[in-house]
Chain A
């Protein structure tokens, strides 16, 4: 028999938990849901746009009644649970319904705080929390004129804006002298107030409400100084209180909220709680992003996987008043010793402030231009060291070499503009899918629209669209992004576990790190295979079945299922007999097309899979090894003519390139890795857009790192200058090895350098000589096993099953 799960609270956190649970184990429980409200689960966040007339109730339903039915979930609406019997393990509702449980989930949300002043119980005094409140407000707007909103925070201002849009005269009453003091500093608050005043809102600041006047219905608000303000409707938006009455009555330990541990379990191990009603590590959250993270963890434990932990969230805020751009995150009031970066342009109504501690962002307030909010928030959550770009950080991410893919363009794009070039998805499709299907996360958008699921260069745009379409409901990636859906561990967790535990084979990774799937997926297996290989080059046995086909067959798969073959030409140098050998091979195997590549060598297209081994045999006989043009591996070393021939050459760039290629060929990498050597600063080999580039000068060699010429062009950073070829080789090996050991799989050097910071890399490779030598040594050890030509090995019969078919008629 299935176990029974009862959910109290048919709201956003509870239902998200059920959705996550169904995703991982739909069979475990019979589920019943009690909800006080008469509606299926809806997007509470969107009540503000509903009030403002920008959306309808139908638009904001998240789980329709059909959804409950399809998933065999019993839904009891309009009925509050009034009693939890923890001994008999059952709950009872107001209407007398009883449901037993094996596991109970409490997600009762919170209640608006109603200030306990005389008259607060009069008709026409409400909070702003649910559909009923919105209905009351809309009805009041039809028949009466004056509204007073008490509380100048996020909720109060959204209520005031909505009421004003419905034709009411609205005054916002605030106790302090500055609006949204929990999200904004004074300069930003002043800009916000001026802009709202211009739209027609009235403000009464530093006013303490003393009483609500009127017969049985409100007629005016009275203040501590005796003054009065006429009112037909009073909305109290001074804060929320976790809704813990039921839990408290049942003897579940509560403080401000229901106390839970990192697994979202209350003090009663059968009872879990998520959402605004809980208190976790002393914090009660009031925004959905952290609640969704809680839901994911809770579902993992309800499904009895038992590995996820919720460790708290950093939150960010946006105000959903159309036309006002405001973003706030983290600690925006500077503490002793903090630094602040401020950009202020009053005539444009722009204000940006970042609070910095030890070169890391601790908080951000943006007003007027919030395009980079997503980026600052990511830097904040990931604790990125910003030393290398702090002088330009306030101008935004596009200042960092982003070739026009920044989200700054997202709003001005038309609906027909193509956002995802790979899958041909337009902005309109994405926005439509987000609002119609109620999507919250990047993964959901990827699954439903395919946008950003291929090359990923449009991820920033899609994230920006999400953020703008669903407001703060957007479930920004948690600071610890899981490696893939098979695990809750991040790339760093996995790399660390493999190196330190130590773990030396794939099955042990699955077991020791509690993988959720029996043998991983197409995303994690190649990553794990690489991490194991990089950590244990001499011990780990490469797993062919965990490699993407290109690396398994050592050629690029083509759209028709044939392969391409790219022999290595060290430094782009080639001899007549080698060219002749290539030509002969092409004749012999009827290669349909030859092409000189961008990497200074020759690509032979359209080779049948079964022809690969004999062809490699012939190439091998002529002295060629694999060019690894198919691999997350060292690709090419591009060189220029250099001082042998060129009138400007300062050093032997060609010869150095050949040496570098002999040092690095065959090496598996987190992603592809390209090098170049230019003989002078004219830089004909384009060394400054390579992963590792050398520019020769009279006095030695400039070493450049982290360049990328692909989807998003990034110019290299200067690592250092050295004087001898031997040093170039050593620094190159050390840099390469550091990247191999620390970068995430499928992260090229450009994003890696930006993530960890150039100074960290300089420290290890340039400043710390001992560490450089250790890294270089480790690289050479790994190269001893990597430089066995895979083509030759297969030409001699290795992995034969890969290349032969089983014929039958």
Chain B
């Protein structure tokens, strides 16, 4: 069952930044780090649902804008002493186009 969706192009996501995808059920944040790796996860912090897309991206993690939890972009797990996890989605880049598997 391959339901890859074309969502945007790599250059439309700022480096160390994100864009938000609206689906019928939720918002998905799609991040680009300094090495042009792409990650996608539900735009909801495991702490109090802060919009992770609005956080500061560094390395392979993002710091939530509301209370500074750090979330691992690849696994969706909270890092450090905090505990919690948010859903992630598979992503791929082909010819500069970004696909997310929903």
Contact = CB atoms under 8 A, between A and B. Distances in A.
Given A447-B80, A549-B65, A557-B66, A525 B58 contact: yes
User: Most chain-B CB neighbours within 10 Å: which of A448, A545, A548, A807?
Assistant: A545
A340 B56 CA distance: 50
A447 B51 CA distance: 22
- Which one of A518, A520, A553, A806 has the highest number of Cβ atoms from chain B below 10 Å of its Cβ? A806
Contact of B65 (A520, A525, A557): A557
11 contacts: A518-B34, A519-B58, A519-B59, A525-B56, A526-B56, A550-B65, A559-B66, A561-B54, A801-B13, A806-B7, A808-B7
B17 A545 contact: yes
A809 interface: yes
A23 to B, nearest CB: 12
Interface in B71-85: 80-81
B21 A806 contact: yes
Chain B: interface secondary structure? loop
Contact of A809 (B8, B24, B50, B66): B24
A370 to B, nearest CB: 31
Nearest to B44: A561
A490 to B, nearest CB: 20
Contacts of A544: 14, 17
A526 B12 CA distance: 23
Given A447-B81, A519-B34, A549-B65, A801 B56 contact: no
B59 A518 contact: yes
B4 to A, nearest CB: 12
Contacts of B13: 801
B34 A454 contact: no
Contacts of A559: 48, 66
A517 interface: yes
A520 B58 CA distance: 6
A521 interface: yes
A545 B57 CA distance: 8
Interface string B40-54: 000000001011001
Contacts of A809: 23-24
B37 to A, nearest CB: 11
Given A448-B81, A544-B14, A545-B17, A454 B67 contact: yes
B10 interface: no
Given A544-B14, A545-B57, A557-B66, 14 more contacts: A519-B33, A522-B56, A522-B70, A544-B17, A545-B15, A548-B65, A557-B51, A559-B48, A561-B50, A805-B21, A805-B22, A806-B30, A808-B7, A809-B24
Nearest to A561: B51
A517 B56 CA distance: 14
Nearest to B57: A545
A421 B76 CA distance: 29
In the A-B complex, the 7 residue pairs with the closest CB atoms? A522-B63, A545-B16, A549-B54, A522-B56, A549-B65, A805-B20, A561-B51
A521 B68 CA distance: 11
B92 interface: no
A546 interface: yes
Contact of A806 (B19, B48, B56): B19
A557 B19 CA distance: 17
B22 A553 contact: no
Contacts of A521: 56, 58-59, 63
> Looking at B20, B22, B51, B56, which has the most chain A CB atoms within 10 Å of its CB?
B56
B14 A545 contact: yes
Contacts of A549: 54-56, 65
Interface in A489-531: 517-522, 525-526
Given A518-B59, A522-B63, A549-B55, A806 B81 contact: no
Interface string A261-283: 00000000000000000000000
Interface string A780-809: 000000000000000000000100011111
A544 B17 CA distance: 9
A518 B65 CA distance: 21
A805 B56 CA distance: 18
Contacts of B68: 453-454, 522
B22 A807 contact: yes
B43 to A, nearest CB: 9
A544 B59 CA distance: 17
B48, B50, B58, most chain A CB atoms within 10 A: B58
A548 B55 CA distance: 7
Given A447-B80, A807-B22, A808-B23, A517 B14 contact: no
Nearest to B5: A808
A175 to B, nearest CB: 49
A552 B30 CA distance: 17
B96 to A, nearest CB: 15
A546 B56 CA distance: 7
Most B CB contacts (10 A, CB to CB) among A448, A453, A521, A553 go to A521
B66 to A, nearest CB: 7
A382 B67 CA distance: 31
Q: Considering residues A557, A805, A808, which has the most beta carbons from chain B within 10 angstroms of its beta carbon?
A: A808
Contact of B54 (A448, A553, A801, A806): A553
A723 B30 CA distance: 57
A520 B63 CA distance: 12
A151 to B, nearest CB: 42
Contact of A557 (B16, B27, B35, B54): B54
Contacts of A552: 54
A798 to B, nearest CB: 13
Contacts of A545: 14-17, 56-57
B50 A519 contact: no
A806 B8 contact: yes
B55 A522 contact: yes
A9 to B, nearest CB: 29
Nearest to B67: A454
Contacts of B63: 521-522
B56 A808 contact: no
Contacts of A546: 16, 56
A805 B67 CA distance: 23
B3 to A, nearest CB: 11
A593 to B, nearest CB: 20
A796 B5 CA distance: 31
Given A447-B80, A520-B58, A545-B14, A808 B65 contact: no
A286 B22 CA distance: 61
A553 B22 CA distance: 19
Contacts of B23: 808-809
Contacts of B51: 557, 561
Contacts of B55: 522, 549
Nearest to A560: B49
B14 A806 contact: no
Contacts of B67: 454
Contacts of B21: 805-808
Interface string A738-763: 00000000000000000000000000
A550 B51 CA distance: 13
Contact of B59 (A447, A448, A517): A517
Contacts of A550: 65
Nearest to A446: B81
A805 B66 CA distance: 20
B17 to A, nearest CB: 5
Contacts of B59: 517-519, 521
A401 B87 CA distance: 48
Contacts of B50: 561
A368 to B, nearest CB: 38
A571 to B, nearest CB: 32
A553 B66 CA distance: 14
A519 B16 contact: yes
A559 B58 CA distance: 23
Contacts of A522: 55-56, 58, 63, 68, 70
Interface string A641-684: 00000000000000000000000000000000000000000000
A805 B22 CA distance: 7
B22 to A, nearest CB: 5
